């Protein structure tokens, strides 16, 4: 975010004042540790930029794990605060400054903006708070980022479809929020992959906005002029895509379903067994983020950028997820302290991170 000179000076002055205030408040209450250096009695705060179904699953995973850690004494208190308004970075920055005055040991932030919140994140770091940015990439001088990779999401949302159609046929690419940073990385990776498949023709691209209802509308609008479509890979929305093909009396192509209980139940009940799959970012990453913060407070080496695998649902594990998930709940990788520590070790060694096994 670029400020005029006067505003930049005011912002810097405000940051200095708030950092000094919070540092004064935190100075008398260092984190307790056991004899072996394990953190105890941590105060953990989670600031969330906006709420949707996926985020609600993430918050539930955080609260469940934090409650377990409270029982064992690692955590003394935890809180979740959702920023008011519609994804407002200004409101979230104000919220974070209020949380800082409560002297948390760990501040976890799911940012409404990866740029506008950099100053307040750096204020929190300067105040001695362990900061973890979740589900976003942020160019900041401090804090640990725990995230999925959007380019990898693009690959995970395309490659299984290409495998299912044996690398040939006409496809429709279902794109996300065109112009956004995640979609740019998502789409760029898909173009790289498609360059290696000369027998796959992209018959059309639609802007499905990663939403089933929008994808259905977009597909219906063009389907009459399309050849036989082998697959509709891209940014989820598979339930809407299937419904569009059903209404047109067309054969169901390979699609990418959302990972929520409703979509996966629809997949199973429809009897679709053509190589369709589900792929989405992982709300379970919040648990890994929590254990990454604990590792850092323990004095372990933690990478600045912790990139984790996404969630993938296949025909082989579909039954498990349908039986496990509520209607509006999203599938999440089962991160815990052991799998998080293993992921951190793999990243430090330059190795691939393993997806946790299903419970």
Per the CB < 8 A criterion, the answer to whether 100 and 124 are in contact is yes
* Proportion of the chain in helix, strand, coil states, percent, rounded to 5: 45, 20, 35
* Per-residue tens of pLDDT for the chain, all 359 residues: 322 322 223 333 333 333 433 333 343 344 565 545 789 999 999 999 989 999 999 999 999 999 999 999 999 999 999 988 676 899 999 999 999 999 999 999 999 999 999 999 999 999 999 999 999 999 999 999 999 999 999 999 999 999 999 999 999 999 999 988 899 999 999 999 999 999 999 999 999 999 999 999 999 999 999 999 999 999 999 999 999 999 999 999 999 999 999 999 999 999 999 999 999 999 999 999 999 999 999 999 999 999 999 999 999 999 999 999 999 999 999 999 999 999 999 999 999 999 999 98
**Is 3 within the bounds of a domain?**
no
**Is 2 within the bounds of a domain?**
no
Question: Same domain for 271 and 169?
Answer: yes
| Strands of the 311-313 sheet, one edge to the other | 200-207, 169-175, 229-232, 254-257, 277-280, 311-313
Range of the domain at 109: 10-150+282-349
How many folded domains does the chain comprise?
2
**Is 354 within the bounds of a domain?**
no
Per the CB < 8 A criterion, the answer to whether 143 and 292 are in contact is no
Question: Same domain for 156 and 244?
Answer: yes
Question: Same domain for 83 and 231?
Answer: no
Question: Same domain for 116 and 54?
Answer: yes
Question: Same domain for 258 and 162?
Answer: yes
Using N-to-C axis directions, what is the helix angle for 89-100 and 5-26, rounded to 10°? 30
Nearest to 206 by CA among 193, 219, 194: 219
Q: What is the CATH number of the domain that holds 204?
A: 3.40.50.2300
Residue 52: phi and psi, rounded to 5, are -145, -175
**Is 19 within the bounds of a domain?**
yes
Given 280, 305, 328, which residue is the final one in a domain?
280
Which pLDDT does position 37 carry in this prediction? 76
Question: Same domain for 293 and 239?
Answer: no
Place of tokens 């059309």: 204
Question: Same domain for 98 and 197?
Answer: no
Say how far apart CA 255 and CA 274 lie, in whole Å: 9
Nearest to 159 by CA among 349, 310, 346: 310
Say how far apart CA 88 and CA 84 lie, in whole Å: 7
**Is 230 within the bounds of a domain?**
yes
Say how far apart CA 315 and CA 163 lie, in whole Å: 14
Say how far apart CA 107 and CA 272 lie, in whole Å: 43
Question: Same domain for 120 and 229?
Answer: no
**Is 204 within the bounds of a domain?**
yes
Residue 7 CA from chain centroid, whole number? 32
Question: Same domain for 321 and 202?
Answer: no
Question: Same domain for 128 and 171?
Answer: no
Secondary structure class of 59 (helix, strand, coil): helix
Which pLDDT does position 176 carry in this prediction? 94
**Is 235 within the bounds of a domain?**
yes
Given 280, 295, 328, which residue is the final one in a domain?
280
Which pLDDT does position 35 carry in this prediction? 43
Q: Among positive and negative, which fits the CA dihedral 215, 216, 217, 218?
A: positive
Say how far apart CA 279 and CA 149 lie, in whole Å: 12
Taken as a whole, the chain contains a residue count of 359
Secondary structure class of 149 (helix, strand, coil): coil
Question: Same domain for 320 and 264?
Answer: no
Per the CB < 8 A criterion, the answer to whether 134 and 194 are in contact is no
Given 247, 280, 313, which residue is the final one in a domain?
280
Secondary structure class of 297 (helix, strand, coil): helix
Which stretches within the chain are classed as H helix? 5-26, 53-72, 89-100, 118-126, 150-156, 159-164, 181-194, 212-222, 238-247, 261-270, 285-298, 318-324, 337-349
**Is 356 within the bounds of a domain?**
no
Question: Same domain for 308 and 226?
Answer: no
Say how far apart CA 41 and CA 30 lie, in whole Å: 10
The first and second tokens of residue 156, run together, are: 């995970």
């Amino acid at each position: 975010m670029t400020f005029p000179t006067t505003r930049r000076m005011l912002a810097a002055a405000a940051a200095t004042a708030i950092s000094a205030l919070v540092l004064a408040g935190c100075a008398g209450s260092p984190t307790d540790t056991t004899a072996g250096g394990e953190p105890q009695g941590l105060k953990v705060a989670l600031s969330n930029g906006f709420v949707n179904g996926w985020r609600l699953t993430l918050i539930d995973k955080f609260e469940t794990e934090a409650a377990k850690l409270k029982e064992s004494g690692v955590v003394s208190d935890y809180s979740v605060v959702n920023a008011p308004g519609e994804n407002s970075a200004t409101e979230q920055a104000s919220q974070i400054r209020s949380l800082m005055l409560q002297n948390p040991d760990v501040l976890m932030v799911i940012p409404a903006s990866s740029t506008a919140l950099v100053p307040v994140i750096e204020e929190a770091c300067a105040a001695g708070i362990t900061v973890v940015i979740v589900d976003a990439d942020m160019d900041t001088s401090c804090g640990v980022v725990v995230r999925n990779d959007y380019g990898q999401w693009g690959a995970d949302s395309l490659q299984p479809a290409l495998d299912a159609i044996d690398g040939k046929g006409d496809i429709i690419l279902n794109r996300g929020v065109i112009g956004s940073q995640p979609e740019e990385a998502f789409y760029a990776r898909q173009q790289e992959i498609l360059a290696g498949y000369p027998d796959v023709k992209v018959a059309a691209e639609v802007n499905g906005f990663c939403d089933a209802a929008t994808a259905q509308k977009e597909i219906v609008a063009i389907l009459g002029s399309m050849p036989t479509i082998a697959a509709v890979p891209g940014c989820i929305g598979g339930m809407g895509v299937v419904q569009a093909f059903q209404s047109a009396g067309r054969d169901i192509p390979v699609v990418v379903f959302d990972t929520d209980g409703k979509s996966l139940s629809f997949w199973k009940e429809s009897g679709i067994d053509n190589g369709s799959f589900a792929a989405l970012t992982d709300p379970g990453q919040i648990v890994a983020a929590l254990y990454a913060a604990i590792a850092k407070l323990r004095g372990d080496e933690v990478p600045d950028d912790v990139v984790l695998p996404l969630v993938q649902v296949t025909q082989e594990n579909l039954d498990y997820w349908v039986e496990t998930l509520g209607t509006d709940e999203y599938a999440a990788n089962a991160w815990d302290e052991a799998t998080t520590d293993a992921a951190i070790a793999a990243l430090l060694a330059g190795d691939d991170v393993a997806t946790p096994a299903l419970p």
